[in-house]
Structures are given as structure tokens and as C-alpha cells.
Structure 1
Amino acid sequence: MPRHVPVALASAGLAFALAACGGASTTDSGGQAAPDALNAKADLSKQSLTISIWDGYSPKDLPQQVKAKLGFDTKVAIHDTNETVMAKLTAGGDSGIDVAFVSGQYAQALNAQGLLEPLHPELIPNLKNLYPEATQLAYDKGNKFSVPYTWGTTGLCYRSDLVKTPPTSWNDLLNPSADLKKKITMMTTERWLALPALKLLGASVNTTDQATLDKAKAALLKVKPDLLAYDDTTFGDRLKSGEAVMVEAWDGWCPTDQKNIKFVVPKEGSDLWTDTMVILKSSKNKEAAHAFINYVLEPSVHGWVPANILYKVPNKAAMDTVDPALLKDHPELALPPADLLKGEGLIDLGEASTAYTRLSTEVAAAQ
């Protein structure tokens, strides 16, 4: 996949997998692991790392960069979805992974089971490069167990030359005008399938109220006959070809570099998704793991992300390195953090996520 699909399917099995996992040997009363004693002067050349990340989500030569800068070897393991890496991390025992890139609510779930090392800020001085807003994320306020890597939101991506009126509301998607019917797509990833309907209802994207979810389901079933397709991966290509004229999309996947393709966050609001870096409690290389995260937060390193895969990073120093011409061509990259945080942060819902699984299953099965 050319770019990362943020926060794939919020699996109903996640809560049960976590509950079955033994977790770390020492935790506080809330489940979070107690911090280990780390050596700030450790010889990093005697350590090595295995990181797990989505394909194409970091520079290909990152291991070589780390070796040259920090003196230790880094092995990259690729996962395609959050579920893939979560299955490995929650299977019990040592997964062999030191640093994992997972989406925010998954980091929250891992931490609740004592599977993460609490961050040692003194070993990550480049935390100072983060926007202040990046310390106020709903799943981990204060960045106690995770460091945000990318962040963004969800909205409507559309062909300005093929729609009669530019969309401004989720209602434009869920109650499409006649000229849009069979020319629009929605995503099927559970939390994002429900998002447009929930926001149109004025509800939280983290709601577990069944009556509200039932109303959302009714709205999704109503629009289903008017959709061209459910599409989580190729909606950009459909827009480029003109097969689709408006799609539900993550901001980083809306191809706004193409003439006449625009992105808008509907007036009812949207979400705030975040992908993070976490250190596994089972890691035997925790000093190197902290050094790695600190290196990623270097402006020249973290700045690779917006410059190459068009995702915003919560690193002010890195965003300041972005070419102004790129920001002009991709205005969604220039969205200020304060505006981004108007979106509602996604959090782990535990076993309550089964309600979203049920909703998406029933919508998908409906004729």
C-alpha cells in the first residue's frame, strides 16, 4: 500500500485478546506498568532494536541513519494494520519488538494491560519539538506512554469541477443530491463508517450509547443504495478518474495535489486520529528505544513525513522545515494544530467496541 491507512478496523477481538494476555510483571493499580530503572549513560552500541511500522511510513534508509548517528543496529518489521501488530504484541511472552508504531487508541489499550514502558522524558529531550497541543491527546494526556508520530482528521474529498455545490456538511454525503448518487464512497473501517452519521447526529465518535448507534445505523442503511462503493483504499484513484466525485477520506489520502481535488472538514466536526511510537515493556533495549524515538523527533528526520507521504506531524520544528510550495499545493498540511484539535480524539473503547463491529457487519450485510 503506497501510504498508511490510519487506525484500521477497531477489532472486537482486541479487548478479549488483551484481557487474555498476562501483561507485564509489575504494574500499578490501573494496569500501567511501573517504570524500569534506565541508564542514561548506557553504551548504545551494545544494544539493538526491532521496530514494527507500516510500509512506507518512514525513510527506507532509517536503519542506516540510526546506525550512523546512534551506533546501534535497527531491524524493521512491517505490519499492514494495527490488528496485525496487536496480535503479535498481545500473544504473551516477548514479541521481539522493541518499538511499535500503533494508533492512539491501541497504544492506550496496550498501556492499560501493562505492556508498555512508561516514557522517560529525560531520555527524549526532543519532546520539546512537539506542539503544546500534542501533549493533550485524549488517549494519553501528557505523553506518559506514547509519542505521537502523525496526526490528522477525516473529511470530504471531492472534485470541485464535478460537483454542483462544494460540500460543507456530512449531510452532503448521507443525504446526497440526485447528481451525486452512485458517485460517492464511504469507508468501512468500523469507527469511520459510523463517524459521518454520529457527527450529523451531534454525537461523540466514542459513543457507546446503543440508541445513538441504532440511529447512526439507520442513516447508513438509508444512504447505502446511493453509494458507488465502500472504499478505504482506492477512493483517491476513483476521484482522479472521475468515477467518484465525492468520498469520505482521511486528509493524508485526499490527492489534493491533483487539479480540482479539494478536501473539507464538514461543519459538524470530525475526528482527530493519531499514530504513535511506543516502547514495549518486554524490550531489553529500552535505552536504545528512547534514543531512537528522540532521533525520529529531529526536525530533519520527522520532516520527511510531510515532505514525502503528505501527513502532518505533531512536531512544530519538523513542520517548520516543510517547503512553503508544498503547503500551498496541499493546504490540508497547513491546518493549524488548534484547528486539528477541534476534532474529537479517538479513544479505546475496550469491549464496548463490539457495538461498532456489530453495526458495520449489519450495514455490510444489508441488501
Structure 2
Amino acid sequence: MKKHTRQSLAALAMTLAAFGAQAEDKELNLYVWSEYIPEDVIEAFTKETGIEVNLTTYESNEAMYAKLKLTNGAGYDIVLPSTYYISMMQKDGLLQKLDKQKLGNMKNLDPALLDKSYDKGNQYSVPYFWGSTSIGVNAEEIDPKTITSWKDLFKPEFKGRLLLTDDVREVFQIGLALNGHSANTTDEAQIKQAYETLKPLIANTQVFNSDAPRLPYLSGDVDIGMIWNGEVYMANNEGGNLAYIYPKEGAIFWVDSFAVPSHAEHPDAAHRFINYMMRPEVAKACVEYVGYATPNLPGKALLPDELKNSPVIFPDAATVAKGEFQTDVGDAIGLYESYWTKLKTGQ
């Protein structure tokens, strides 16, 4: 009798605990890139689930990473790191393993974008968008046909008209590519050579921007420089006339993935949201909003032909093969950051 009572009480406690967890998970804290998830998509999720979404944005992987390091993976339920940041954050204990049983819509994702070196088996991440960083040109001021190489950004006539993303690895990839080196080198001599190559480029640079780089183009502050493909899509939808050029040395490619911080307060809500975002119709809406490439194959199939066949959004295999995806460079990131500081301060 006593044993039965203890078992009943234990079962009741488990039921109440589960109920309490469900009650707590009526809130979700997102920490993501700005202008990356459509408001109506978030509103539809809240209407369907009753989960209120609190949205906080960041303008660089570095800023997100520093904040999560400071809180030891607490404060947010979903983050959107790029490519190699997944492996960095996992090694630092900032991410928790995903429960794949709650992510049935992963079946919609392109296998070519899964099981990457930065997260074998996708234990910690689910790709949301993939895209590129390449050359943006204000076609009203510069003939796009005259731009074919990263080297063109160094032309003296572009002094004070140039934008670079505020991203150490992306900018250094230009210098490395121009010297025939991998974007993922850990060789200090090669990194230093890239630094020396990039020094004249800084003299041309008007602004560093990794928040919304299309805006300086639209305002007329810059006419050429680095930009993400989705920002070109958005700029042209907002009245701009930007051309997107894949340089002959190859573009910079990346994947942004959903991940759950190690001390997320609402992991169940996080999994529900990630699974929701992998619905084909939701993936379609997100591409139409920001113009980045979705890994969601049935979602891509729903897109109108002008988006589905756009080389800006979905580059062909040859263009992708010529470029390079970034990977974790381990302790060598310190070398990059040291030379980056020297580069930006004119040393």
C-alpha cells in the first residue's frame, strides 16, 4: 500500500512537472540576425501555438558569440550562427544537442547541406538559409560589366565609395583568394600576406557594415563593395539598382543554422519553432522576404520561377564550386583577429 502510494505520488509529480514545463514554454526568446525572419511568420506561429516570441537581433557572429559566452549559453532559446561558429560554440559548451524526434520536418532539407564538417550528423544545428558574400555594384554609377574580380575593389577611382562587411574572416578571404590561398588557412605567413594585400583596400573603404549593408548603397554613401546576396534582393525590391557579381576568384559561401543554447529556458518551444520553420510554405515565405537560398527542397519548389531560377539567390553548381565555405580555424582565429585589428586601425 505504501509502495503504491509512493508510486502514485511520483507519477503525479512527473505529470505536474510536465504540465509546468508546458506552461513555461509559452514563451520563446530568439536571438537572430536583423530582418531575417518575417514578422507575419512569427505571428502565425504564435497564433497556432500560443507561444509568444521575443525577438532580439545582432549584427555579427562575433557579437552573438561574445554575448553567449558572457551568459554561458543562457538568456536565449534559439540563435542563428553561421557555418563554423556552430563548431566553435559547441566546443565551448554553448549549445545543446537537438532532439531529432521533435524535428520531423528535417526530411524536407537538402542532404547536400546536412552533415557538414562543422556539425557532423547535425547534432546541434538545422540549416535555415545558405548564401554568399560577393561584389555589389550600383549599376547607376558603375558599369557592372567592368567588374570581374575582387581586385577591382582596389581601383583608385573607388576611393571613399567602397563598403566592406565588418567580418574578419570574410574580408580576409578576399586577401587569401587573391594570393591563391584557402579561406580556411591556419598558416600565419599566408594570413600575414593577406593582411599586406588588404592594406590598400582599407584606404578605399567608406564604411564597414554587417547589419544591413544594402542601406549605404541605397543612400548613395557607397557604390561598390562586399554585400550578401539577400541584401541585393532586398535593395532592388526597395528601389535600388544593384548588380551582384561573382568574382573570378570565387565567392564566399556560408550557412546560417538554427541552434539551441545550452541553458535555454524554453527548449520545447525552440524545437517547435525550428520544426515550424522547416514547413515548405514557411520556407517559401522566408525566401520571398529576404532573398536567401533555402535548403528546403519542397519549399524551393513552391517559389515562383523568377526566384527559383535567380542566379543571385540560387547560384549554379559551378559558381559554388569556385567559391569556398568557411570552416573553424581553431586557435588561428587569434591570428586573424590580431591582423584584423591592425588592418582597421591602419597599422
Q: TM-score, normalised by structure 1?
A: 0.76
1:297 aligns with 2:256: no
1:311 aligns with 2:292: yes
1:170 aligns with 2:170: no
Alpha-carbon shift at residue 290 of structure 1 (Å): 2.1
Kindly tell me: are residues 73 and 343 of structure 1, through their superposed partners in 2, closer, same or farther at Cα, counting changes over 3 Å? Answer: same
Secondary structure of 1:90's partner? Answer: helix
What does residue 131 of structure 1 align with?
A: 110
Aligned mates of 1:135, 1:173 — CA distance in 2: 34
Does the 8 Å contact 1:188/1:360 carry over to 2? no
Does the 8 Å contact 1:103/1:273 carry over to 2? yes
Secondary structure of 2:250's partner? Answer: coil
What does residue 336 of structure 2 align with?
A: 356
1:263 aligns with 2:244: yes
The one of 178, 183, 193 aligned to 1:215:
193
Aligned mates of 1:60, 1:156 — CA distance in 2: 29
Aligned mates of 1:236, 1:54 — CA distance in 2: 14
Secondary structure of 2:292's partner? Answer: coil
What does residue 191 of structure 1 align with?
A: 169
Secondary structure of 1:334's partner? Answer: coil
Aligned mates of 1:337, 1:74 — CA distance in 2: 40
Alpha-carbon shift at residue 294 of structure 1 (Å): 0.9
Kindly tell me: are residues 249 and 92 of structure 1, through their superposed partners in 2, closer, same or farther at Cα, counting changes over 3 Å? Answer: closer
What does residue 230 of structure 2 align with?
A: 252
Aligned mates of 1:276, 1:286 — CA distance in 2: 16
Kindly tell me: are residues 361 and 128 of structure 1, through their superposed partners in 2, closer, same or farther at Cα, counting changes over 3 Å? Answer: same
Letter in 2 for 1:80: Y
Does the 8 Å contact 2:128/2:255 carry over to 1? yes
Letter in 1 for 2:298: A
Alpha-carbon shift at residue 319 of structure 1 (Å): 2.1
Does the 8 Å contact 2:46/2:53 carry over to 1? no
Aligned mates of 2:171, 2:132 — CA distance in 1: 14
Secondary structure of 2:53's partner? Answer: strand
The one of 140, 144, 148 aligned to 2:123:
144
Secondary structure of 1:205's partner? Answer: coil
1:230 aligns with 2:207: yes
Kindly tell me: are residues 67 and 338 of structure 1, through their superposed partners in 2, closer, same or farther at Cα, counting changes over 3 Å? Answer: farther
Q: TM-score, normalised by structure 2?
A: 0.80
Alpha-carbon shift at residue 241 of structure 1 (Å): 5.7
Kindly tell me: are residues 305 and 337 of structure 1, through their superposed partners in 2, closer, same or farther at Cα, counting changes over 3 Å? Answer: farther
Kindly tell me: are residues 83 and 192 of structure 1, through their superposed partners in 2, closer, same or farther at Cα, counting changes over 3 Å? Answer: closer
| Aligned pairs, number | 321
Where does structure 2 lack aligned partners over 5 or more consecutive residues?
1-17
Aligned mates of 1:115, 1:363 — CA distance in 2: 30
Alpha-carbon shift at residue 259 of structure 1 (Å): 6.4
Q: Which shifted more, 350-359 or 179-188? A: 179-188
Q: Which shifted more, 299-308 or 85-94? A: 85-94
Letter in 2 for 1:50: N
Alpha-carbon shift at residue 201 of structure 1 (Å): 1.0
Where does structure 1 lack aligned partners over 5 or more consecutive residues?
1-41
**RMSD value, Cα:** 2.9
Aligned mates of 2:264, 2:219 — CA distance in 1: 47
Kindly tell me: are residues 180 and 132 of structure 1, through their superposed partners in 2, closer, same or farther at Cα, counting changes over 3 Å? Answer: same
Secondary structure of 2:137's partner? Answer: strand
Aligned mates of 1:364, 1:51 — CA distance in 2: 31
Letter in 2 for 1:154: T
What does residue 16 of structure 1 align with?
A: none
Alpha-carbon shift at residue 142 of structure 1 (Å): 3.1
Alpha-carbon shift at residue 284 of structure 1 (Å): 5.3
Which has the higher Rg, Structure 1 or Structure 2? 2
Kindly tell me: are residues 231 and 89 of structure 1, through their superposed partners in 2, closer, same or farther at Cα, counting changes over 3 Å? Answer: closer
What does residue 201 of structure 1 align with?
A: 179
Letter in 2 for 1:146: S
Aligned mates of 1:68, 1:77 — CA distance in 2: 16
What does residue 263 of structure 2 align with?
A: 282
Alpha-carbon shift at residue 291 of structure 1 (Å): 2.3
1:86 aligns with 2:65: yes
Kindly tell me: are residues 338 and 76 of structure 1, through their superposed partners in 2, closer, same or farther at Cα, counting changes over 3 Å? Answer: farther
Kindly tell me: are residues 342 and 223 of structure 1, through their superposed partners in 2, closer, same or farther at Cα, counting changes over 3 Å? Answer: closer
Q: Which shifted more, 334-343 or 257-266? A: 334-343
Secondary structure of 1:354's partner? Answer: helix
Higher helix share: 2
What does residue 23 of structure 2 align with?
A: 46
Does the 8 Å contact 1:96/1:283 carry over to 2? yes
Does the 8 Å contact 1:273/1:345 carry over to 2? yes
Kindly tell me: are residues 259 and 47 of structure 1, through their superposed partners in 2, closer, same or farther at Cα, counting changes over 3 Å? Answer: closer
Kindly tell me: are residues 146 and 358 of structure 1, through their superposed partners in 2, closer, same or farther at Cα, counting changes over 3 Å? Answer: same
Kindly tell me: are residues 140 and 77 of structure 1, through their superposed partners in 2, closer, same or farther at Cα, counting changes over 3 Å? Answer: same
Alpha-carbon shift at residue 339 of structure 1 (Å): 4.4
1:266-294 deviation per Cα after TM superposition (whole angstroms, max 9, x unaligned): 11113222211112333454343322211
Secondary structure of 1:222's partner? Answer: helix
Does the 8 Å contact 1:53/1:76 carry over to 2? no
